[in-house]
Amino acid sequence: MSPSASMSKDSCHHCGLPATGVAACEGEVAGEPQRFCCSGCLEVCRVIHAAGLDSFYDRLHAQENTLAPPPDAPSDLDQYDLDEVQREFVSPLSGGRRGAHLLVEGIHCAACVWLIEKALRDLAGVTRAEVNLARQRLVLEWQPQQVALSAILRRLAALGYAAVPFDPETAEGQVQCSNRRLLFRMGFAGFGAMNMMWISIALYAGTFSGIETEYKQFFHWVGFAIATPVLFYSGGPFLLSGWRGLRLRHLTMDLPIAIGALTTYAYSLWRTLHGGGEVYFDVVTTFIFVILVGRYLEAMARRSAASAALHLMELQPRTALRLDESGQETRVAVRKLAAGDRVLVRPGDKIPADGRVVEGDSHVNEAMLTGESQPVHKSCDARVSAGTVNGEGVLKIRVEQVGGDTTLARIIHLVEVAQGSKARVQRLADRIVPWFVAVTLLLAAATFLFWMRVDFDTALMAATAVLIITCPCALGMSTPMSIVVSTGVAARLGVLIRNGEALESLSRITHVVFDKTGTLTEGRMRVSRIECVDATLDEAQLLALAAALERHFTHPLARAITLAAEVRGLVLPAAEQLQAHGGLGVSGQVGGELVWLGNARLMAQAGVDIPDGMAALREAVESAMGVAVLLASGGRVLGVICLEDQLRSGARELLDRLRAQGLGVTLLTGDTRRAARHLQQQLGEMRVLAELLPEDKAREIAALQQLGERVLMLGDGVNDAPALARADISIAMESGSDVSMECSDVVLMGSELRKLPYAIEIGRQALRTIRQNLLLSLAYNLTLIPVAMAGLVTPVLAAIAMPLSSLLVIGNAILIRRRMGRFVEMQNGR
């Protein structure tokens, strides 16, 4: 075990504190002389070396030094009321409310969740307080005019929980620090339990060989000396949590454990003082040790299950090669990059920020963001994302987004929010928890009174076993662990799920509704033909006029027209009073004239007659799955712009799979009936509704819901937002508009249709696992509580059984990864 490189020769080899005081000493560890601040540190290091844990302890120190966890409780809570400080982690909400995500240390059971939520909701001004057990996360919303954030944090501190603003990196440091403290408490309890075992053996042997009273009394006092520090140091968190709960008139799950430990300890001490009978100091030390082992294993399992966000954080490189105006390279921290900087990315390096390629040609591996295994070709003007890996070429990139604005940061945020959310079924479990502890105490009291007819010792052991073995932790973790694992697996497959309720809804869908443009088709429209009707305009002038109207809109047609004008280098006239007509087109003032650009229905609305030649051309284009956009001004058609699109790869296969699963399929489009029928011929049998306005799409979804259908809507445009909001579950393509992604519950990264079955299957696996976990936790309690009440389980066996139920729930949730892996392989035909 080697000291940290940062320690001086006058630092303690174990803890790093100055080893210069009166208590300082020297000693050998692993054959090497070392200096310590006290003899206690020397003995701890010798125990660690004797147990063969040197390398593990060194890794623990390394993690602690690099992660720099936040403090247990900020010393100045008033600083969090400053607007400059809140700007870093607080979001403004409607109605003047504010929202924040806080990391809360000390949450370890469902009763903690209930206690925090109830205590905060009782505060005037707090409008939302939801705790996620698996992630130890608090979603908080409050009215700053009624209650200050510092007052909320003080309320948490009074409950015994330290809260700090959530940040992914510091959160990981906090978890490591908390686990390290838990490990030391567990190690101390284990050391005490091992020594108590020798005392118990001596007393047990003396029972048969005839031990003298003074020796028996001596061993009782030795047991007392060992059990006391174990109870009050290793078991201290249980005692403090139970006491705080009683003081605040709330029952926590640590209360039964504290009562069981203190009762057994007090009875054994009373027996020792009066010099007769049996003592149970060994029971106290052993079941505290076993419970701490279970807590530590639960913490490790939770961290493994929730590793998706940590995996995504590891994608972000820490440094970048920034290029100055002369082309000189300087290695800087990524956080020092700014929009407009140029960076150099060598082969095999990670791209440090979102931006565009300004020089170079390469392939970039985007699998970690989109789930797509094939590298994507990138050349000049191609967009690249932070965290993706450059292939064989050298790229020079102009930075556009950094920090929290990058695609990677937004994905991490979505995953964190989803993993911290609650599903509807979890709220039912949360309502059960407050009554669970009260029932536990009543059952323990009934058990004690029943067995008192036999003898006090039997009654005490049976009641203690009931207090320890009954635990709602598995019940409380059944849902959040499934949500954490499911959303993490989904993120790795390129499916971003916003909340736990979306997972439940995905598992129950019966009907899938598609938009056409940008969803079943590529949405990469390109201008294929321009026809002028007005002899005073040529193709370039007609295209410039159309682009002037469309350049501020994000619809695929608008992007295609604007791009065509940019490629030709056209100068666009100024356009004013722009207005979008949902499902029809756009209009605006250009040069003092009102100009209309859109489909035949917009022309009819504007009172413009379409020439016969233009109508025939429009019908021919739409029959080939294209789009004909008419440009009109002054009551007449100026020309037509023809655009082409193509089906997304795998669209037909996707619809065939959905139909095979018995799901209904509907296509809603604003295009003409002719174009919709052509698409239907290519995609197979499905319900098709064409020439719909955005509000018409929403009405069609409502009609399906009235028929009892659970509707999933897949869209990508601004005009899809009302329908996405109306559907039971909404999915947006990453290539779609910001509005559609904001209205959606799920986002498909990479805009690949093959990921839709992944999303549906993840929802089904999550709900199935939640139900299995709830049954596991209920079966555990219904089976073992009667056994403990019958006196067939000792407190030590109860302490072993208690964490097993939680570990079973966590393990079953982790199996979602394996099941989804098999599903993906089957879908890909491997």
Active-site amino acid positions: 515
The closest alpha carbon to 134, from 517, 578, 488, belongs to 488
Spatial separation of the C-alpha atoms in residues 796 and 284, rounded to whole Å:
8
Q: Cβ–Cβ contacts within 10 Å for residue 698, how many?
A: 21
Query: 775: Cβ–Cβ under 8 A, 6 or more apart, which residues?
Result: none
Spatial separation of the C-alpha atoms in residues 351 and 415, rounded to whole Å:
21
Query: 178: Cβ–Cβ under 8 A, 6 or more apart, which residues?
Result: 105, 299
CA count, 13 A, side-chain hemisphere, 64: 16
Q: Which residue has the tokens 């949360």?
A: 430
Query: Is 429 within 8 Å of 244 (Cβ atoms)?
Result: no
Q: If DSSP codes are grouped into helix, strand and coil, which group holds residue 383?
A: strand
| Sign, Cα dihedral of 566, 568, 571, 573 | negative
Query: Is 476 within 8 Å of 430 (Cβ atoms)?
Result: yes
Three-point CA angle 691, 695, 698, nearest 5°: 100
Q: If DSSP codes are grouped into helix, strand and coil, which group holds residue 740?
A: helix
Please state at what angle helix 473-492 crosses helix 407-419, rounded to 10 degrees.
160
Spatial separation of the C-alpha atoms in residues 722 and 656, rounded to whole Å:
27
Residue type, 218: F
Return the structure tokens found at 638: 């100026």
Please state at what angle helix 473-492 crosses helix 755-789, rounded to 10 degrees.
160
Q: Which residue has the tokens 């390129």?
A: 494
Q: Cβ–Cβ contacts within 10 Å for residue 742, how many?
A: 13
Residue 355 CA: distances (Å) to CA of 274, 339, 344, 524, 568: 78, 9, 12, 20, 24
Residue 27 CA: distances (Å) to CA of 49, 56, 188: 13, 21, 21
Query: 455: Cβ–Cβ under 8 A, 6 or more apart, which residues?
Result: none
